[in-house]
Amino acid sequence: MEKKTLNKEVLAAVRHVPLLSVAAARILDLTAQVDHTLADVMAVAKNDAALTARLLKIVNSPVYGLLEPATSLERAISYLGENLVVSLVLEDTIGAYLNKPLPGYGGGSGDLWRHDLRTAIAAKEIALINRDRCPPDVAFTGGLLHDIGKSILSEFLKDGYQEILAELAEKEVVDFVGGERDLLGIDHAQVGYELARTWGLPEVMQMVIRHHHEPSLAPEDLKPVVYAVHLGDIIAMMGGYGTGTDNLFYRLDQRYTDYLVVGPEQMGMLMLTVEEKFNETVETLQMR
Residues near Fe ion, by CB under 5 A: 147, 233
Evaluate the CA torsion angle 97, 100, 105, 108 in order and state its sign: positive
Q: Among residues 45 and 161, whose Cβ is nearest to Fe ion?
A: 161
* Distance of closest approach, residue 5 Cβ to Fe ion, in angstroms: 24
Q: Residue 35 carries which side chain, given as an amino acid letter?
A: D
Q: Among residues 193 and 259, whose Cβ is nearest to Fe ion?
A: 193
Contacts of 20 (CB under 8 A, 6+ apart): 28, 93, 94, 199, 200
Evaluate the CA torsion angle 163, 168, 171, 174 in order and state its sign: positive
Contacts of 184 (CB under 8 A, 6+ apart): 3, 6, 7, 10, 153, 156, 157, 160
* Distance of closest approach, residue 99 Cβ to Fe ion, in angstroms: 15
Which run of H or of E encompasses 115? Answer: helix 111-129
Q: Among residues 77 and 140, whose Cβ is nearest to Fe ion?
A: 140
* Distance of closest approach, residue 146 Cβ to Fe ion, in angstroms: 6
* Distance of closest approach, residue 67 Cβ to Fe ion, in angstroms: 40
Alpha-carbon distance of 70 to 217, in angstroms, equals 46
Q: Among residues 78 and 281, whose Cβ is nearest to Fe ion?
A: 281
Alpha-carbon distance of 243 to 248, in angstroms, equals 10
Q: Among residues 233 and 253, whose Cβ is nearest to Fe ion?
A: 233
* Distance of closest approach, residue 215 Cβ to Fe ion, in angstroms: 12
* Distance of closest approach, residue 273 Cβ to Fe ion, in angstroms: 18
Which bin fits 78, alpha (ψ -120 to 50), beta or left (φ > 0)?
alpha
Q: Among residues 80 and 90, whose Cβ is nearest to Fe ion?
A: 90
Exposed, middle or buried: residue 128 (CB in 10 Å: 0-12, 13-18, 19+)?
middle
